[in-house]
A and B are shown apart, each in its own frame.
Chain A
Amino acid sequence: MIEIKDVSKDFAGKKRAIDSLNLTIPDGKIVGFLGPNGAGKSTTIKMMTGILPIDDGSITLNGHDIEKQPLQAKKIFGYVPDQPDMFLRLRGIEYLNFIGDIFDIPVDIRKEQIETLTETFNIHDALGDYIQTYSHGMRQKIIVTGVLLHDPDIWILDEPLTGLDPKSAYMLKEMMREHANKGNTVFFSSHGLEVVEQLCDEVAIIHNGKLLFYGTLDEMRKTYQSDQSLEHVFLELTNDE
């Protein structure tokens, strides 16, 4: 469970990036995080993961405050950033071993997990190459593999499906479903409304740093008295005029 309480964030010389955001993401659900470009999705996620300082308010992950108990909190989530360009000068296998060391995963579990996961994502043959030679989608897959390797309770994914081929996207969606069904938390941002409609139990819509809506898709249709598509509601909600 992720609890975001009264969180605000300012960037120097700009209008509020996040404005007293309140959001509780329950266990056992897939929650989609929607909003136009620059709405504050990545900023929120970066505060959840301890990358950016929180100006006001607090965020807890399964009861661990990300600012007060960063190490405990960071051990229980896996994060896939929107830019997968990291550790480029390491080979895929070295990156995964590095993650294994950080999360203290026994070697035999590493072997087994890496074998199955990379076969699933079809990047097994590239494990010996530098990540720099990977395509965008392959870089994303190696990071997702790293996350799955340490099997965290909470998944936080920033636009995880952008750049994945249909089969890999399908696999990842299946995995997200499975993970939530086991009673864990999955939180991801996306611009793909169909994906959200098809996959998410609940959606959160953010615009100009403010939460506009949080709830299930049915509730959304009820609230806005619309039997139209999510696309329609989304465009209406985030319309500035």
Chain B
Amino acid sequence: MSKTWIVMKNMLKIHYSRAGNNNSQIILLSIAGIFLFPFLFFYLGLINNAVSGLYELLEPFGQSSVIIGLLFLLLTALLFIISFVLVISSFYFAEDINSFIPLPIQPYQILLGKATVPLLYLYVTTFAIYFPVLFYFGSNSNASIVYYLLGIILFVFLPFIPFVLAAIFVMFIMRFVNIAKNKDRSKVLGGIFVLLMIILLNVVVRLNANPDEMMENFAQFIQEKDGLLQMITAAYPPALIGSKALTVAGWESLLYFLLMISISIGFIFLFIIVGQKLYLGGVLGINVGNKKNISSERLHKKLRKHPVWLSYLQKELRIIFRTPTFFMQCVVQSLFGPIFLVIILMMDSNFNSLSGTLDQFSYKQQILILFAATLFILSANATGISSISREGKSWHTNLFLPLDLKQVFLSKIAAGWTINLVSILLIAIGLIVVLDISWLLFSLWLALSFVASWFTSLMGTYLDFSHPKLHWTDEQEVFKARLIGFLALLFEFVPLGIIVVIIWNTPFVQGGIVTFVLLLLLMFIATALVHYLLQKKISNKDYQKII
């Protein structure tokens, strides 16, 4: 057990190690904190209102337990989905495992080590959602000290079941796709497959939710005490057991509590047993494969002359598309958002055409909405914010080769811009096929998107240049345990988002074209400003200082 502990500790250390730059990290954290603080009160207030409201409504019918039931259900669903993504990245994309294989430790110990980082994220998520509801429900129902005690202990066990379910699912799929020789490709395929599964799961759940039938059942279940709870948790018994542990009185509650804990522990063992069988076989021997002999003629065809900026851009794109982690983070995950959104939109409208949905807004508002939504999606793209960090220990190649650093940066921004084209194409399809917008609006939107795409890539690159993470051993570290994604949203989306709100409410800005010109002008100013800042850092030779 002590060895397991050591492995877990080291995994965390690898994950969170930062070389130098501690002060600036603290400053960034403080900025983030200041921005988040008002949100905290808002968030707590929101939960308080929701819980008290529901409680007053349901208590007279003896159905208040359904609040806790809902909490367990929704939390589990959320943890389940998060687990998918975390398990993939930690189990299959992080290659820190190679340093643990030679050590005299059991496979299950490595597995538990691997589970540490995802579980940590799950606990943070659980903490933020579970405790507020738990405490507000407790204070509304004047719960005893036992309620709080059991509630707090249950917190420890909550993430286990969704995590194990997701982990086993992912391990099965990865085992299946890993038959292929090319591990790089199979990792990417597996990753995409799991993301598709999440979308599919969502679709299935939504299709099965039949409002009419539910209303019928509702009338029936509301007759008996805790009937609602039983109804909603029918598909997922652990939620029922957990809720009962917290809402029934006396010894019975303790019984449910122990049952819940035993099930959770049972799942951990299941994880270890299944994992030992499926996991190591699937990840070991990571090779890139793809050895092939190319004839001299074909080699010579590859020798072509390009201008330096294009050659550099090509190099960037090749590296992104060939490195599974970069490909998943920069390309696939940025597509996930738009696709997810379109499918949910289409489901909610029962596949009826959504065309004309935008017609209820004025022309000016339509442009603002499209612009803000696009800017948000582009800000979430990880290509810009990893421009410098992706290089890792090879950053010095940019310095000893006779490259104009300004050109290097421009090519890197261009790489982000090029990858954004995929998102823009996807949104474009959505706009034309689903929303059926006019061609004029479409062209205005397209022009704005191209400029916004340059701006977000530029800003991301600038932010990454300010606080790069070059000393990584694993590509995952470029994206995880860094504030940069959040900062990107803060600096790329928030200021312009506020401006959009202001324009929306400014009566003397009228008409689509005026709004368009105004937005375009603002984007140009913002872009020029950041270019100026970037140039200052380049002239200051900051590129040598980040090594």
Q: Does B248 contact A (CB under 8 A)?
A: no
In the bound complex, do residue A94 and residue B318 qualify as a contact, i.e. CB atoms below 8 Å apart? Answer: yes
Given A101-B306, A127-B299, are A74 and B318 neighbors across the interface (CB < 8 Å)? no
Q: Does A140 contact B (CB under 8 A)?
A: no
In the bound complex, do residue A86 and residue B394 qualify as a contact, i.e. CB atoms below 8 Å apart? Answer: yes
In the bound complex, do residue B322 and residue A102 qualify as a contact, i.e. CB atoms below 8 Å apart? Answer: no
- Taking CB atoms, residues of chain B closer than 8 Å to A79 are 400
- Taking CB atoms, residues of chain A closer than 8 Å to B303 are 93, 96-97, 100, 107, 110-111, 114
Q: Does A192 contact B (CB under 8 A)?
A: no
A90 vs B320: C-alpha distance in the bound complex, in angstroms?
11
A128 vs B401: C-alpha distance in the bound complex, in angstroms?
23
Which parts of A124-175 form the interface with B (CB within 8 Å)?
A: 125, 127-130, 132-133
- Taking CB atoms, residues of chain A closer than 8 Å to B298 are 128
In the bound complex, do residue A87 and residue B311 qualify as a contact, i.e. CB atoms below 8 Å apart? Answer: no
In the bound complex, do residue A130 and residue B400 qualify as a contact, i.e. CB atoms below 8 Å apart? Answer: no
Which parts of A31-57 form the interface with B (CB within 8 Å)?
A: 46, 49-53
In the bound complex, do residue B399 and residue A51 qualify as a contact, i.e. CB atoms below 8 Å apart? Answer: yes
- Taking CB atoms, residues of chain A closer than 8 Å to B13 are none
Which parts of B297-339 form the interface with A (CB within 8 Å)?
A: 298-300, 302-308, 311-312, 315, 318-319, 322-323
Interface string of A80-102 (1 = CB under 8 A from B): 01010111011101101111111
- Taking CB atoms, residues of chain B closer than 8 Å to A96 are 303
In the bound complex, do residue A49 and residue B399 qualify as a contact, i.e. CB atoms below 8 Å apart? Answer: yes
Q: Does B208 contact A (CB under 8 A)?
A: no
- Taking CB atoms, residues of chain B closer than 8 Å to A89 are 318-319, 322-323
In the bound complex, do residue B302 and residue A94 qualify as a contact, i.e. CB atoms below 8 Å apart? Answer: yes
A53 vs B545: C-alpha distance in the bound complex, in angstroms?
7
- Taking CB atoms, residues of chain B closer than 8 Å to A125 are 293
Q: Does A218 contact B (CB under 8 A)?
A: no
Q: Does B403 contact A (CB under 8 A)?
A: yes
Which bracket fits the contact residues of A? 35 or more
- Taking CB atoms, residues of chain A closer than 8 Å to B293 are 125, 128
- Taking CB atoms, residues of chain A closer than 8 Å to B181 are none
Given A74-B402, A90-B319, A102-B401, are A129 and B544 neighbors across the interface (CB < 8 Å)? no
The smallest C-beta distance from B309 to any residue of chain A, in angstroms, reads: 10
In the bound complex, do residue B311 and residue A101 qualify as a contact, i.e. CB atoms below 8 Å apart? Answer: yes
Interface size on B, residues (CB 8 A): 40
A199 vs B299: C-alpha distance in the bound complex, in angstroms?
35
- Taking CB atoms, residues of chain B closer than 8 Å to A103 are 402
A215 vs B297: C-alpha distance in the bound complex, in angstroms?
49
| Candidates B291, B300, B394, B404; contact of A111 at CB < 8 Å | B300
Q: Does B294 contact A (CB under 8 A)?
A: yes
Q: Does A182 contact B (CB under 8 A)?
A: no
In the bound complex, do residue B394 and residue A52 qualify as a contact, i.e. CB atoms below 8 Å apart? Answer: no
Smallest Cβ-Cβ distance to A101: which chain B residue: B311
A236 vs B322: C-alpha distance in the bound complex, in angstroms?
51
The smallest C-beta distance from A87 to any residue of chain B, in angstroms, reads: 7
| Candidates A70, A114, A132; contact of B288 at CB < 8 Å | A132
In the bound complex, do residue A129 and residue B304 qualify as a contact, i.e. CB atoms below 8 Å apart? Answer: no
Q: Does B393 contact A (CB under 8 A)?
A: yes
Given A128-B292, A130-B290, are A52 and B547 neighbors across the interface (CB < 8 Å)? yes
- Taking CB atoms, residues of chain A closer than 8 Å to B287 are 133
Q: Does B480 contact A (CB under 8 A)?
A: no
In the bound complex, do residue A83 and residue B393 qualify as a contact, i.e. CB atoms below 8 Å apart? Answer: yes
| Candidates B288, B304, B308, B323; contact of A133 at CB < 8 Å | B288
In the bound complex, do residue A51 and residue B396 qualify as a contact, i.e. CB atoms below 8 Å apart? Answer: yes
Q: Does A10 contact B (CB under 8 A)?
A: no
- Taking CB atoms, residues of chain B closer than 8 Å to A87 are 315, 394, 397
Q: Does B144 contact A (CB under 8 A)?
A: no
In the bound complex, do residue B288 and residue A128 qualify as a contact, i.e. CB atoms below 8 Å apart? Answer: no
Which parts of B247-296 form the interface with A (CB within 8 Å)?
A: 287-288, 290-294, 296
- Taking CB atoms, residues of chain A closer than 8 Å to B307 are 101
Q: Does B9 contact A (CB under 8 A)?
A: no
Given A50-B400, A51-B400, are A130 and B288 neighbors across the interface (CB < 8 Å)? yes
| Candidates A83, A100, A128, A130; contact of B299 at CB < 8 Å | A128
The smallest C-beta distance from A146 to any residue of chain B, in angstroms, reads: 9
In the bound complex, do residue B291 and residue A98 qualify as a contact, i.e. CB atoms below 8 Å apart? Answer: no
Could you list 11 A-B pairs, sorted by A, with CB under 8 Å?
A: A51-B547, A74-B400, A90-B315, A93-B294, A97-B303, A98-B315, A101-B311, A102-B403, A127-B294, A128-B293, A133-B288
Pick the 7 closest A-B CB pairs, nearest first: A128-B294, A74-B402, A101-B311, A49-B400, A86-B394, A53-B544, A89-B322
Query: Using a CB–CB distance below 8 Å, which chain A residues touch chain B?
Result: 12, 46, 49-53, 70-71, 74-75, 79, 81, 83, 85-87, 89-91, 93-94, 96-103, 106-107, 110-111, 114-115, 125, 127-130, 132-133
